[in-house]
Amino acid sequence: MSENFKLDLIHRPRRLRRTASLRALVEETQLRPADFIAPLFVVDGRGSPEPVSSMPGVLRRNVADLVKECRALFKLGVPAVALFPKIDQRLKDEDGAVGLSEDGLVLRAVRAVKKAVPGLTVMTDIALDPYTTHGHDGVLTAGRDDVDNDRTVGILAQMAILHARAGVDMVAPSDMMDGRIGAIRQALNAAGFPQTAIMAYSAKFASAYYGPFRDAVGSAKAAGTHLLGKATYQLNPANRREALIEAALDEAEGADIIMVKPAGPYLDIIREVRGATNKPVAAYQVSGEYSQIHAAAKLGWLDYARTRHESLLAIKRAGAGMILTYFAKEMAVELVR
Ligand code: PBG
């Protein structure tokens, strides 16, 4: 009986999956090098590139090596980089004052990259965590039990002006303070930088997936733990509607691009934000998402290249028009082949 069982079906979705060319015709989402923004880590000095142990293949580079990497990325069709400084521990203090230094590492890096590769879009993180001894994204309140929102926003607005003056195309506030997008927009306008864009880390969750990044920039391990959590400013991973409130506020305050972070575990948020705004939507595939694929592949449990590709395809399919990812260069190489 089962050998010659026949269904008289009208709809057979498998008809369009029968051959490779049919599958290509009905494919809905494609990745391209221009989808990616490469996060890059920069250090002071002239040393050779330093590997980040928890992020295989990721390096901290001095400014000269950073410039070379940016040239290579641009040549491969990657349109943008996001720069993150690793600051010498001895330069850090409670208030992260070195973040406002006129000759800071990230400013030197921006100038060098923009000079060498003017066509590359360069963005920088606006937050205090690389500069503070405690690793928080802002300055602490008098009682040292929370981040002081308004004082932090004042500092971040100054920082954005310094970065704009150094030549960044876009600043990316990742601090999650209230009102920072509006304050930064006003500060940039008043300082003569009306064209400097803002990519807002609008829906940034208090995520365990940032662990390897804190290793990469050497920010205090205490932050994000029970000792000193970021839960008073980053979003609760349980909350979807609250993420939409943040996205709406950032849009109203003048964000040019709305970002969701992390990406892979938050595809529902990407989808909802995509539906809620007409601004471009970005997603950040964070360090932990990258490292877990590496770890599983190293154990022989996942196919590295296929998982890498699928993880990014899913983020784009969910609605992200651009993706910050540590896989940017490898993906561009794969896609231009
Ligand atoms: C901090 C910042 C973080 C990341 C980017 N900017 C970490 C944090 O909020 O603690 C994480 C990026 C990643 O994990 O790849 N302003």
User: 226: pLDDT confidence band, cut at 50, 70 and 90?
Assistant: very low
- The radius of gyration computed from the CA coordinates of the chain, to the nearest angstrom, equals 21
pLDDT of 105 higher than 90: yes
φ, ψ (nearest 5 deg) of residue 198: -120, 120
- 165-184, pLDDT tens digit by residue? 999 999 999 999 999 999 99
Closest C-alpha to ligand 1, atom 2: 174
pLDDT of 140 higher than 50: yes
CATH number of domain containing 90: 3.20.20.70
Domain count, the chain: 1
User: 292: pLDDT confidence band, cut at 50, 70 and 90?
Assistant: very high
Q: Give residues with Cβ within 8 angstroms of 75, minimum separation 6.
A: none
Vertex 206 angle, CA 175 and 143, to 5°: 65
- Candidate from 28-42, 140-154, 207-221, 320-334 with smallest mean pLDDT: 207-221
Structural domain span for residue 184: 30-335
**Is 92 known to be catalytic?**
no
As beta bridge partners, residue 227 has none
**Is 261 known to be catalytic?**
yes
User: 224: pLDDT confidence band, cut at 50, 70 and 90?
Assistant: low
13 in a structural domain: no
Distance CA 103, CA 201 (A): 26
Average pLDDT over residues 92-102: 95
Closest C-alpha to ligand 1, atom 7: 210
pTM of the model: 0.96
Average pLDDT over residues 105-134: 97
What is the whole-number distance in angstroms between the Cα of residue 265 and the centre of ligand 1?
Answer: 15
Give the pair of three-digit tokens for residue 89: 């521990």
What is the whole-number distance in angstroms between the Cα of residue 33 and the centre of ligand 1?
Answer: 23
9 in a structural domain: no
Residue reference for tokens 């920088």: 124
For 48-169, strand residue ranges (E) read 50-52, 55-61, 80-85, 121-126
- The phi-psi region of residue 125 (left if phi > 0; otherwise alpha if psi is between -120 and 50; otherwise beta) is beta
Residue type at position 279 = K
* Catalytic, out of 86, 92, 114, 204: 204
Give the pair of three-digit tokens for residue 313: 């395809």
- 193-205, pLDDT tens digit by residue? 999 999 999 999 9
pLDDT of 222 higher than 60: no
Distance CA 43, CA 59 (A): 10
Mean of all residue pLDDT scores within the chain: 96
pLDDT of 26 higher than 90: yes
Closest C-alpha to ligand 1, atom 8: 210
251 in a structural domain: yes
275 in a structural domain: yes
What is the whole-number distance in angstroms between the Cα of residue 220 and the centre of ligand 1?
Answer: 12
SS3 311: helix
- 33-62, pLDDT tens digit by residue? 999 999 999 999 999 999 999 999 999 999
Average pLDDT over residues 236-244: 98
SS3 259: strand
Q: At 298, which helix (H) or strand (E)?
A: helix 287-298
What is the whole-number distance in angstroms between the Cα of residue 288 and the centre of ligand 1?
Answer: 10
Atom of ligand 1 nearest to the CA of 286: 15
Closest C-alpha to ligand 1, atom 6: 174
pLDDT of 223 higher than 70: no
Average pLDDT over residues 70-81: 98
283 in a structural domain: yes
170 in a structural domain: yes
Q: Give residues with Cβ within 8 angstroms of 129, minimum separation 6.
A: 96, 135, 136, 137, 217, 219, 223
12 in a structural domain: no
Q: What is the dihedral of CA 138, 103, 113, 279, to 10 degrees?
A: 30
> Do the Cβ atoms of 50 and 60 come closer than 8 Å?
yes
Residue type at position 245 = I
15 in a structural domain: no
SS3 211: helix
Q: Give residues with Cβ within 8 angstroms of 184, minimum separation 6.
A: 126, 156, 157, 160, 171, 173, 198
